[in-house]
């Protein structure tokens, strides 16, 4: 069996190492660490032949690589462009989630600074402002400083801080509690939950820095029982059903980012791939 792993990060190194136990792995493009355990190539994934393609990062998924490979008749682990929008557009994701009745923070999406700032003032601190589009985990500001929140809205909507990814912002009610990452492996309608991980995103000690893609994670998480929390029933199953109702056959990982609030688990975000560092 031959498997192509698409990507060049530590997540893809972890995937390549695991897949290499049972198949020949080619990483496209890979990195020097992966080159020590598998073949690497600079060729485009579309030019390669393999029994299975595993797409690691969100950018090629949001760009439709899974669809292009499937159109060539290839077996692919990773959602197509329609499903990848769950991560590619936070505004769309929140609409899907709200309609599916999945517990999450109150929100509104805005493209005009005055409207965004007016909505901000209907919420209590902390204020949460997110780019609609992809920003490598750095597009979220959580702050108790209203002036900083206003500035962030201006910088995002003008395109100054995140280019086109910030031309729409999602403003959310602030939630509090420990976070939990749950990864569900999905085949379109069914899913299997992997053990939960706890991921830490803020730079610097004591959560004093800005958000990053991830500073570190551990798994398993003591005291967490995914069945008892009904994570599959309350988050994964309704999401897959909502996608299927829109004709979206979601295959790959659905990453459920949760906050364990005093009122129970609530969704922070969906990602459409293995988390990194969770995957490691």
Residues that bind ligand GLY (CB under 6 A): 137, 199, 213-214, 271, 275-278
Interface with ligand AMP includes 94 (CB under 6 A)? no
Interface with ligand AMP includes 55 (CB under 6 A)? no
Residue 174 interacts with which of ligand GLY, ligand AMP, none, CB < 5 to 8 Å by class? ligand AMP
Interface with ligand AMP includes 128 (CB under 6 A)? yes
Q: Residue 223 phi/psi, 5° resolution? A: 80, 5
Which is closer to ligand AMP, CB of 61 or CB of 128? Answer: 128
Number of helices (H) and strands (E) in the chain: give both, helices first.
10, 15
Helix extents (H) in the chain:
10-19, 32-35, 58-62, 65-71, 81-88, 90-100, 113-120, 146-157, 231, 237-245
- The nearest distance, CB 124 to ligand GLY, in angstroms, is 26
Alpha-carbon distance of 88 to 102, in angstroms, equals 19
Interface with ligand AMP includes 110 (CB under 6 A)? no
Alpha-carbon distance of 223 to 181, in angstroms, equals 14
Contact 45, 2 (CB under 8 A): no
Residue 205: DSSP 8-state = G
Only segment of 23-31, 111-119, 174-182, 189-197 that touches ligand AMP (CB under 6 A)? 174-182
Interface with ligand AMP includes 196 (CB under 6 A)? no
Which is closer to ligand AMP, CB of 120 or CB of 268? Answer: 268
Interface with ligand AMP includes 201 (CB under 6 A)? yes
Alpha-carbon distance of 13 to 159, in angstroms, equals 33
- The nearest distance, CB 158 to ligand AMP, in angstroms, is 21
- The nearest distance, CB 134 to ligand AMP, in angstroms, is 10
Alpha-carbon distance of 93 to 6, in angstroms, equals 24
User: Which of 257, 243, 141 lies closest to 199, judged by CA?
Assistant: 257
Which is closer to ligand GLY, CB of 33 or CB of 137? Answer: 137
Residues lying near ligand AMP in the complex (CB under 6 A) = 105, 128, 130, 137, 140, 142, 172-175, 179, 201, 211, 257, 268-269
């Amino acid at each position: 069996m031959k498997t192509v792993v698409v990507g060049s990060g530590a997540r893809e190194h972890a995937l390549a190492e695991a897949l290499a136990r049972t198949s020949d792995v080619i990483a496209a493009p890979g990195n020097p660490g992966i080159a020590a355990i598998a073949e690497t190539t600079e060729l485009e994934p579309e030019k390669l032949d393999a029994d299975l393609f595993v797409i690691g990062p969100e950018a090629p998924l949001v760009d439709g690589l899974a669809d292009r490979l499937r159109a060539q008749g290839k077996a692919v682990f990773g959602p197509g462009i329609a499903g990848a929008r769950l991560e590619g557009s936070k505004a769309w994701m929140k609409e899907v989630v709200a309609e599916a009745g999945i517990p999450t923070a109150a929100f509104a999406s805005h493209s005009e600074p005055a409207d965004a700032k007016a909505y901000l003032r209907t919420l209590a601190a902390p204020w949460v402002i997110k780019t609609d589009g992809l920003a490598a985990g750095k597009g979220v500001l959580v702050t108790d400083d209203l002036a900083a929140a206003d500035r962030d809205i201006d910088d995002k909507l003008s395109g100054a801080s995140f280019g086109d990814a910030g031309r729409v912002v999602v403003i959310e009610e602030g939630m509090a509690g420990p976070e939990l990452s749950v990864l569900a492996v999905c085949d379109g309608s069914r899913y299997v939950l992997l053990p939960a991980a706890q991921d830490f995103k803020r730079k610097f000690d004591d959560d004093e820095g800005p958000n990053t893609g991830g500073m570190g994670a551990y798994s398993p998480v003591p005291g967490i029982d995914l069945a008892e929390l009904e994570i599959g029933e309350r988050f994964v199953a309704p999401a897959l059903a909502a996608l299927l109702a829109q004709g979206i056959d979601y295959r790959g990982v659905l990453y459920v980012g949760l906050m364990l609030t005093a009122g129970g688990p609530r969704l922070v975000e969906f990602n459409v791939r293995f988390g990194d560092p969770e995957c490691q």
